[in-house]
A and B are shown apart, each in its own frame.
Chain A
């Protein structure tokens, strides 16, 4: 029974040919549009990959301030790194209260963490920029002691010590530095967690993934353009849905017409002993064959169209960064969309064909 079904499903008439061409055009738009967006992403990535990214910073989640890395897990990390604890705080000194960022840096070597700075357990080191801000706001030089409020707790009369002698280029000059122990003492739950890990080189991706860490791109331009292209790509995924609906409608209209035109033929098939399921299979298979043919033709056209756009754009005064690559994903998506849409769009006509012998128009004359 499979061979006759296949033969019936692959009959080519002018109408079915037009349906396949329509599906091909829809797939061409999908493959072409996604190829162009992927090409832009490739071009951006090729530039971004050539830019030195600076120190590798790892966090959990997408916001450093709310990142919470379990300090126990730090023992699993090899090599030297710095564990960074960061919390918004309020500092009262020189007669004013000012919102500051309080930071504790702990250097890890061979799995053992050491806090080198500031030296005293309760010391608060104010960097030069923060000192200038305090002096400008209060009109007097920074005092020798102050009160620090973090996690809703307030520590009073903490010694204010000199700025750090060496500061990473990553950091601004207006942070307040404390020891990690101070945060832990103020709140073991909130102060105990580490917000970021700073390394000279990247972590093994498998290890980072096992710890739930993601890299924070500290050169924003790189993250910006990558994220921007991802935005365009995700918007274009919606185009796939629209194309799927278009293909579904095309197949539905074409197969409905086909079933209507062949109603007498369907009645003959039924009278020869074909079951309703076999008749339905003929038309469902025909929808899939048309979608497959359309997807193959459309993918080829889409690839050609994308290359044509990129090649001719500079002639129109639009030099660009688009680097087209083999469009495996767009083609795969086009095939999936076309076949799925055709399968869904063909259900109603094929079911109608299966029950057509009961209707007046299908009765053999």
Chain B
């Protein structure tokens, strides 16, 4: 979920956005990039934030072939496009009940505008772009209020990012470049301003924006969504930790006499801890793996009917071994810390106290005392 804004902007390609210098993201740069790199893998794009039938939708003006190559998308079925067209992603089409032949109302991104687009067809891709609306450049420029030769971003799919950076430096473009495994690189540009989007809008007036607005906006949107997502994850982790501790505490209460007996026959604290880890770690790992696997499987099963949408895009849950491992690790850590804490408390007691037969649960108060008040 936190990565959705950057996935929308870049996907798994290298994305070039406007730097703080001269206007560079234009047809000239796009044509030169297309000549320099694999043709069809360079996608100049104009992004418009809008609503469609009341739902938030990202409208992307593209050249269809280039976009399809970058996103690995396909048109269903193949269509011939005229000069004014819109293609709707399968996910969005399914949600809003759109199909080829429909006309839809679109609105401007940062300027008040109304336009209508005929849906020429539906496309399918396995990326977040499956929830977008593609339009021709003319319509995209009208909605975004962009000049006739400008783009918001150019995405390039290449296996040689160094060559891309070298080309941009040689071309004299002012740009920010980021992509898979590459931290943002500023070419002939200051780093993106860290000013709030709110300040930018207030300073520049209605619909105005700084040159590198897109980078800032995506950064800020990512940060805000990250704070909410990580905050909720933290709260859920706290709840999980509490649940694990509560269960372990109840289970450990029954084994207190065992701790007392072992200590009485000479088991040292370190040996006890080691023994505890040997016994509990495999169980914790197994529980973590089963729980995380059930979570992923449950999500996969719910996927067609229950989807989480962020910025009009479905959050695609894919099996990521690293995330899976981190979840298991967190569960094991919670369980181990909780268990060691309980053991430590038991080790503080004298063995004779631990061995004493006592109910694990505190006896209830006297009924008589309660009734008397």
Instruction: Give A residues with C-beta under 8 Å from B.
Output: 3-4, 7-8, 11, 13-15, 18, 21-22, 25-26, 28-29, 32-33, 36-37, 40, 43, 46-47, 50-55, 57, 62-65, 86, 88, 99, 101, 129, 133, 136-137, 169-172, 174, 216-221, 223-228, 231-232, 235-236, 238-239, 257, 261-262, 265, 268-269, 302, 305-306, 309-310, 313, 318-322
Q: What's the interface size class on B, roughly?
A: 35 or more
- Which of B15-23, B287-295, B323-331, B365-373 touches A? B365-373
Residues of A within 8 A of B371 (CB): 4, 7-8
**Cβ-closest chain B residue relative to A221:** B49
Question: Taking the nearest CB of chain B, how far is it from the CB of A58, in angstroms?
Answer: 12
SS class, residues of chain A in contact with chain B: helix
- On whether A63 and B105 interact (CB within 8 A), knowing A50-B201, A227-B56, the answer reads yes
Question: Taking the nearest CB of chain A, how far is it from the CB of B148, in angstroms?
Answer: 12
Residues of A within 8 A of B362 (CB): 13-15
Question: Taking the nearest CB of chain B, how far is it from the CB of A261, in angstroms?
Answer: 6
Let me know if A28 and B113 touch, CB within 8 A. no
Let me know if A217 and B236 touch, CB within 8 A. no
Question: Taking the nearest CB of chain A, how far is it from the CB of B61, in angstroms?
Answer: 13
Bound form: Cα–Cα A301–B83 in Å: 58
Q: Is B77 an interface residue (CB 8 A)?
A: no
Q: Is B304 an interface residue (CB 8 A)?
A: no
**Cβ-closest chain B residue relative to A44:** B224
Let me know if B51 and A52 touch, CB within 8 A. no
B window 102-133: CB within 8 A of A: 103-116, 118
Residues of A within 8 A of B79 (CB): none
Question: Taking the nearest CB of chain B, how far is it from the CB of A296, in angstroms?
Answer: 17
Residues of A within 8 A of B246 (CB): 18, 22
Question: Taking the nearest CB of chain B, how far is it from the CB of A110, in angstroms?
Answer: 26
B window 188-209: CB within 8 A of A: 194, 196-198, 201-202, 206-207
Listed by A's residue number, 17 A-B pairs whose Cβ atoms lie within 8 Å are A25-B242, A47-B197, A88-B118, A99-B84, A129-B138, A169-B111, A169-B112, A218-B108, A228-B309, A235-B308, A269-B367, A305-B234, A309-B230, A310-B231, A313-B227, A320-B223, A322-B228
- On whether A228 and B227 interact (CB within 8 A), knowing A4-B371, A63-B105, the answer reads no
Bound form: Cα–Cα A302–B82 in Å: 55
Residues of B within 8 A of A224 (CB): 49-51, 56-58, 311-312
Bound form: Cα–Cα A52–B230 in Å: 33
Q: Which of B84, B239, B373 contacts A133 (CB 8 A)?
A: B84
- On whether A228 and B114 interact (CB within 8 A), knowing A63-B105, A309-B231, A321-B197, the answer reads no
Instruction: Give B residues with C-beta under 8 Å from A.
Output: 48-51, 53-59, 82-84, 103-116, 118, 138-139, 142-143, 194, 196-198, 201-202, 206-207, 220, 223-228, 230-232, 234-236, 238-239, 242-243, 246, 306, 308-312, 361-362, 364-365, 367, 370-371, 373
**Cβ-closest chain B residue relative to A103:** B116
- On whether A57 and B114 interact (CB within 8 A), knowing A7-B373, A46-B198, A265-B364, the answer reads yes
**Cβ-closest chain A residue relative to B56:** A227
**Cβ-closest chain A residue relative to B308:** A235
Let me know if B365 and A36 touch, CB within 8 A. no
Q: Which of A4, A25, A310, A322 contacts B238 (CB 8 A)?
A: A25
Residues of B within 8 A of A231 (CB): 56, 309-312
Question: Taking the nearest CB of chain B, how far is it from the CB of A222, in angstroms?
Answer: 9
Other than the given A99-B82, A169-B112, A224-B49, 5 more pairs (CB < 8 A) read: A3-B373, A218-B107, A226-B56, A228-B309, A231-B311
Question: Taking the nearest CB of chain B, how far is it from the CB of A319, in angstroms?
Answer: 6
Question: Taking the nearest CB of chain A, how far is it from the CB of B158, in angstroms?
Answer: 29
Residues of A within 8 A of B104 (CB): 63, 65
Question: Taking the nearest CB of chain A, how far is it from the CB of B204, in angstroms?
Answer: 11
Bound form: Cα–Cα A64–B114 in Å: 10
Question: Taking the nearest CB of chain A, how far is it from the CB of B264, in angstroms?
Answer: 27
Bound form: Cα–Cα A7–B59 in Å: 63
Residues of A within 8 A of B306 (CB): 238
Let me know if A101 and B116 touch, CB within 8 A. yes
Q: Which of A37, A220, A238 contacts B51 (CB 8 A)?
A: A220
Residues of B within 8 A of A11 (CB): 364-365, 370
- On whether A37 and B228 interact (CB within 8 A), knowing A11-B370, A29-B238, A57-B114, the answer reads yes
**Cβ-closest chain B residue relative to A318:** B223
Bound form: Cα–Cα A109–B230 in Å: 54
Bound form: Cα–Cα A265–B364 in Å: 10
- On whether A217 and B223 interact (CB within 8 A), knowing A22-B242, A101-B116, the answer reads no
Residues of B within 8 A of A302 (CB): 235
Question: Taking the nearest CB of chain A, how far is it from the CB of B339, in angstroms?
Answer: 18
**Cβ-closest chain B residue relative to A257:** B361
Residues of A within 8 A of B243 (CB): 22
Let me know if B239 and A25 touch, CB within 8 A. yes
